[in-house]
A = this chain, B = another copy of it.
């Protein structure tokens, strides 16, 4: 990307960067070759003219927007199919999705959930039957679990699959409105197949929830099959082109072999055979949550890139009365809002990489029948998904607000980025539900620590703290990491003690748990934060990079540590040996770090290597033509294609004339 025609402020910013931007790009991508491959793929996709919209999607009606998304999704599918055949390359679906759809494809759940579930839960015979067609897009599918009435509490799902041994079929029914499936992407008007999660009933007895593969539309006419009620659920805050849908059945019959039987089985005569390795199913859920931590890094980098570049281009007001208006990036308050976003994106990426490795190790163990590390992995993924998604939502919105009024424009793309980022807080495990799941693990671990047992690595700090909670405070990264562990330990203990207090007051354990749940949730957050700090700092100091780059990465990692210490200083003052003076010292350190990062800010977001086609932003493009692009995009409005809108003659003029009477 040449500096030709670039905004002069951005040229100047890039010239003063103290590290090699390419080195950081390669580090993020996982090597120079990975960057090359990524760029070649993206170059290919974004040179397809048919994938570029002449009129921005936000001007279209809901229906036109859907039709345009299907059009692009099919073209993208074709192009990717060819590309992957030729180069054997697995692209980052999110990067390209953001580029083509601004959010996601109506096919999103086809690969991510439909194909993945057939692989994860189908027998070899079932895989042989369905997989080639699915991978080829001869059939298009989605995954239907959540219902109008049930999301978090999976056991409460109401869709029923009743086995009929006479015909060797399952009969699907959604007898109540609240049992209707609600949310699956692509379900609205796009897919013809669906994985349906339903309560299995045999001879009037429930056998829990099981997955079924169900054809819901005719492959030739696309009409819903008799007994199927399907449609789309309407507009949302984001994911506008995801085509989320609803689905209900009335005495809809499917063959016995359509229950995915890798785990549990139903024999011809209706005998239920319990699964041997149900934990494998569990693994997919964990994998999706790990993936979201990675998505948080990308989402944060999108917002940071837009806001930092805009802040380098935008001049507003003066620091010194006699000097010209300054780049708003020179305001320390603006640095305070934006640099934590850059730092968080790196922290999320490092933690994602660490968590992925843990996941793969645990899956290897599981394949060999060892389940020991699964609870720890599950607890870790739960709380990290919850905290990273919430943090990502906050920093993205902070970046948006930092762009003032222009950040409110759809053409900045920041509202859309916020829309799909904040969704991660809810989908695949609502934040509070997940934090409280981790809290259960933490309370168990605390009890084990009290009993002197050896704890899993991620919670071993609880035993350490129990042995010695009086550690001298140190204003070093390692000291701060230790401090976060003390805070987490202190909060776990306090929450546990609160449960005990309520039990002593006569409450049973379940009510006591609920009464202490705000504290439990916060203990779980503190545990996440301590992992985020420990892991990300550890990853950074182990990074092999040039001294200049390493210095910058350390500054970002330290900024993250100090930022969160100051944000949660009350907890530190209660649960660690930090002093008021230490807090003042850290505040000073924080101001120093902002100043140190300032000259590299634009270089740092350039290193996220997000093409203009992915950013889709009038404020964030590489060349910094902010005002020009704002106007160019506005001029695309259909209202600007006419000098007088019809509503003048229809409504305004009569109103004005009536007034004269």
In the bound complex, do residue B236 and residue A316 qualify as a contact, i.e. CB atoms below 8 Å apart? no
Residue ID in chain B nearest A521 by CB atoms: B333
Q: Report B-chain residues with C-beta under 8 Å of the C-beta of A644.
A: 189, 221-223
Q: Report B-chain residues with C-beta under 8 Å of the C-beta of A61.
A: 59-61, 64, 638
> How many Å lie between the Cα of A67 and that of B517 in the bound state?
49
> How many Å lie between the Cα of A84 and that of B405 in the bound state?
35
Q: Report B-chain residues with C-beta under 8 Å of the C-beta of A436.
A: 333
In the bound complex, do residue B409 and residue A423 qualify as a contact, i.e. CB atoms below 8 Å apart? no
Interface size class of A (residues with CB under 8 A): 35 or more
Residues 317-331 of chain A, each 1 if its beta carbon lies under 8 Å from chain B, else 0: 111110001000011
Q: Report B-chain residues with C-beta under 8 Å of the C-beta of A236.
A: 408-410, 415
Q: A219, A427, A648: which has the most chain B beta carbons within 10 Å? A: A648
The B-contacting residues of A in range 612-661, CB under 8 angstroms, are 627-628, 630-631, 633-640, 643-656, 658-660
Report if A77 contacts B (CB, 8 A). yes
Report if A458 contacts B (CB, 8 A). no
In the bound complex, do residue A320 and residue B510 qualify as a contact, i.e. CB atoms below 8 Å apart? yes
In the bound complex, do residue B518 and residue A432 qualify as a contact, i.e. CB atoms below 8 Å apart? no
In the bound complex, do residue A151 and residue B405 qualify as a contact, i.e. CB atoms below 8 Å apart? yes
Known contacts A60-B61, A61-B60, A409-B233; A336 and B518 CB within 8 A of each other = yes
In the bound complex, do residue A631 and residue B146 qualify as a contact, i.e. CB atoms below 8 Å apart? no
Q: Report B-chain residues with C-beta under 8 Å of the C-beta of A514.
A: 319, 330-332
Among A132-140, A259-267, A554-562, the stretch that binds chain B is A132-140
In the bound complex, do residue B401 and residue A425 qualify as a contact, i.e. CB atoms below 8 Å apart? yes
Q: Report B-chain residues with C-beta under 8 Å of the C-beta of A648.
A: 189, 222
> How many Å lie between the Cα of A30 and that of B455 in the bound state?
60
Min Cβ gap A33→B in Å is 31
The B-contacting residues of A in range 519-548, CB under 8 angstroms, are 519, 521
Q: Which of B410, B569, B572, B646 contacts A237 (CB 8 A)?
A: B410
Known contacts A189-B645, A570-B571; A325 and B153 CB within 8 A of each other = yes
Interface majority SS on A: helix, strand, loop or mixed? helix
Q: Which of B137, B425, B633 contacts A234 (CB 8 A)?
A: B633
Residue ID in chain B nearest A60 by CB atoms: B61
Q: A150, A333, A510, A650: which has the most chain B beta carbons within 10 Å? A: A333
The B-contacting residues of A in range 56-103, CB under 8 angstroms, are 56, 58-64, 66-67, 70-71, 73-74, 77-78
Report if A227 contacts B (CB, 8 A). no
Report if A600 contacts B (CB, 8 A). no
In the bound complex, do residue A638 and residue B153 qualify as a contact, i.e. CB atoms below 8 Å apart? no
> How many Å lie between the Cα of A319 and that of B511 in the bound state?
7
Report if A255 contacts B (CB, 8 A). no
Report if A294 contacts B (CB, 8 A). no
> How many Å lie between the Cα of A645 and that of B136 in the bound state?
22
In the bound complex, do residue B66 and residue A647 qualify as a contact, i.e. CB atoms below 8 Å apart? yes
In the bound complex, do residue A177 and residue B627 qualify as a contact, i.e. CB atoms below 8 Å apart? yes
Residues 135-149 of chain A, each 1 if its beta carbon lies under 8 Å from chain B, else 0: 011111000001011
> How many Å lie between the Cα of A236 and that of B56 in the bound state?
13
Report if A430 contacts B (CB, 8 A). yes
Report if A156 contacts B (CB, 8 A). yes
> How many Å lie between the Cα of A333 and that of B524 in the bound state?
13
Q: Report B-chain residues with C-beta under 8 Å of the C-beta of A506.
A: none
Min Cβ gap A411→B in Å is 6
Q: Report B-chain residues with C-beta under 8 Å of the C-beta of A156.
A: 316-317, 325
Q: Report B-chain residues with C-beta under 8 Å of the C-beta of A138.
A: 656, 659-660
The B-contacting residues of A in range 456-515, CB under 8 angstroms, are 494, 508, 510-511, 513-515
Residues 105-122 of chain A, each 1 if its beta carbon lies under 8 Å from chain B, else 0: 000000000000000000
Interchain Cβ contacts under 8 Å between A and B, 10 examples: A60-B62, A67-B647, A71-B651, A73-B651, A150-B316, A189-B639, A231-B639, A231-B640, A332-B514, A566-B570
